[in-house]
Structure 1
């Protein structure tokens, strides 16, 4: 009998578990329920935490680290690296390593004050090491400054009406009046910079980054409006000083507007995270031929269908006629939308009411138990189907034999 082929292709659980740990937990649960299954592990990194480490690992590249200013200004050790293979001058960084939400203690979360200066320092470190192609992963950010800090670290001067540098963080954007590009590191002009991001993330408006992600980063309701005003001012000044329309740019809202800043200041190309990932990992090749696919993320809601890993996995698997199950930490508003995008069913890994810290501490065990339970349900469904098929054949046989003599 051919073993059941199950592909496990999740993202990480933000601030909790990386994609590799989530993948291993799901695989253990599946094998506990079905020891004969052929489980294919495909952890997927969407540009957030672990992006650089994952791409470097996939390509047998070289990891490095640099001390940079974290989102609150204190030093952090940020991991980045060079991909392996034939292109030895391609560096990869993830902004979360320098300015991620996990670097901001919960009691100090305020996206008006957090800053991307360390991201610019990472880009400079890559340039110093000889990079001429830099891939920046956007995701899991703790900032909302539209990359103003990043630009300042690379020599751009963002000025208020008095000609003085603005304050760090999104609060500084409220005072922005002009942009002086004359001090930009000249090596930028000779470097291809690509941004791995969710192109559905917008800079402004009801679905803009401030309103959608500001509260997740600690912004109270009254601060969200200030974040939006600051981004609007940045877009207006950038249009006037640099001639770029950021309001209409797909992906400009990535990582608190860092996508907009990278495009405006560095001329970066904003690219779908899956187009970047597919250069290094053939996702479709792994999914093709599977009997079942498991995906996962920390929180499932309407946005999961738009550019996030579960939605992308569902879309690709559906095109091949393969069913997908999602395991998630929380189920949010309008999560059922994902059923229209290839995810046939979803289950929460949290099995009893508990505090967030408690759920995060036990996440790996919860994921494994959930995968075990769901896989046992799948195996029972196979048994039901086999029983129904057998009864149908028996009934057909009796009909063909005619009435009993």
Structure 2
């Protein structure tokens, strides 16, 4: 039996690779002679680089509060061209900040711009940027500052690089931007398709998760509306009409408008980069999963992306999750079974301890495969 294990991470608990190997250990106990392949997956959020094969380039940049932080980008070949893959969470990620320092009113994406600038300086003319996991809601303006854009407030004074430039911007200039930007193809890999502003936009949907209160959310949304108008005036693109422009606090919109980039499905891009379809063709059974399986999983998440492709090839698909939501009916067409790994009465904190999650994932996989091989 050929078994393909292709999960996302269990966020805050286990990396995709760790989940995959825990599941594989359980499968091996149930089916000792199984041919097992583990392919860690991602959807454009944290862990995207970890799921891919390539060469890492280390560099020092700034975190969301402009403190030094070590980051990297990955180099690989995509569509016949050498490509840099940059994970915004490494420089602008929420996990870089302690809970008491999280505030999108103070955070920016300048460090991401530094990562992009390093790749441009190294000669890359195709750059993939994964958008998930950011601590920011600056409309991508910090990134633009690091790439040479000049931002000005209402008094025509240049906005400094610390803090959130979205709160002060009135105009911009791209006369001194990095000379290679216009000759570079940018792809933004996203796991969400939210709009730039409004009730379904970057501020209202994501800023509260990053530490903003109601008043701050409304202020951020107003400034995003203003910035969308500025982008349309300058670049002729209405970012509000671009799906995913609100990803990573509006970073998607800045990439689409100012960098001339394209926003694509993160999971579909990772499927291409990992060559997962060839593995699916060889598999008798596919096991995927993520930390929480619910209605949100339909919106560009790994398990559904893997399952859709598997079903095109007539393969059986099982999903394991740390938590199953209530909206499972919508997921049933994609999966032959949805299962939680929880077997003990534990608090959320206890269940998310890596050792516990790994043990439970392994146990759940073993028991499922013991039953599966009897049918």
* TM-score for both structures, normalised by structure 1: 0.84
Work out which of the residue numbers 157, 165, 182 in structure 2 matches 1:189.
182
Deviation of 1:39 after TM superposition, in Å, equals 1.7
Q: Is 2:341–2:364's contact at 8 Å kept on the other side of the alignment?
A: no
Match of 1:262 among 237, 255, 267: 255
1:31 to 28, 39, 60: 28
Count of aligned pairs between the two proteins: 375
Change (3 A) 1:82 1:370: closer
Q: CA deviation at 1:216?
A: 2.7
Alpha-carbon distance, 1:345 to partner: 2.9
Within 2, Cα distance between the matches of 1:161 and 1:381? 66
Match among 226, 229, 242 for residue 219 of structure 2? 226
Asked whether the 8 Å contact 1:9–1:295 carries over to 2, the reply is yes
Among 326, 331, 338, which residue is 1:338 paired with? 331
Counterpart CA distance in 1 for 2:224 and 2:78 is 39
Which of residues 35, 38, 45 is equivalent to 1:48?
Answer: 45
Deviation at 1:264, TM superposition (A): 1.6
1:5-84 residue pairs with structure 2 within 5 A? 5-55=2-52, 57=53, 61-83=54-76
Identify if the C-alpha distance between structure 1 residues 356 and 73 changes in structure 2 by more than 3 Å, giving closer, same or farther.
farther
Distance change in 2, residues 1:85/1:271 (3 Å): closer
Specify whether residues 74 and 312 from structure 1 end up closer, same or farther in structure 2 by C-alpha distance, changes over 3 A only.
same
Change over 3 Å in CA distance of 1:331–1:241 after alignment to 2: same
Match of 1:149 among 130, 142, 162: 142
Question: Residue 14 of structure 1 contacts residue 140 of structure 1 at CA under 8 Å; is this kept in 2?
Answer: no
Point out the structure with the larger helix share.
Answer: 1
CA distance in 2, matches of 1:170, 1:75: 15
Report which stretch shifted further, 294-303 or 142-151: 294-303
- Whether the aligned pair in 2 keeps the contact of 1:65 and 1:79 (CA below 8 Å) is yes
Q: How far does residue 299 in structure 1 lie from its aligned partner after superposition?
A: 2.2
Q: Which has the higher contact order (CA 8 A, sep 6+)?
A: 2
* Superposition RMSD in Å: 2.5
2:361 aligns with one of 358, 361, 370? 370
Task: Return the alpha-carbon distance in structure 2 between the equivalents of residues 326 and 66 of structure 1.
Answer: 37
Indicate conservation of the 8 Å contact 1:144/1:170, yes or no: no
Question: C-alpha separation between the residues in 2 aligned to 1:333 and 1:207?
Answer: 22
**C-alpha distance 170-378 of structure 1, shift in aligned 2 (>3 A):** farther
Once the two structures are TM-superposed, the CA of residue 89 in structure 1 deviates from its matched residue by 4.0
Say whether residues 1:347 and 2:346 are aligned partners: no
Q: Confirm whether residue 200 of structure 1 aligns to residue 193 of structure 2.
A: yes
In the alignment, structure 1 segments of 5+ residues that lack a partner are 386-405
Q: 1:222: how far off?
A: 4.1
Q: Which has the higher Rg, Structure 1 or Structure 2? A: 1
SS at match of 1:288: helix
Shift of 1:296: 1.4
Structure 1 residues 379 and 298, CA, compared in 2 at 3 Å: closer, same or farther?
same
Deviations 1:89-125 (A, max 9, x none): 4222111111112111122222222111000001111
Q: TM-score, normalised by structure 2?
A: 0.90
1:310, distance to aligned residue in structure 2 (A): 1.0
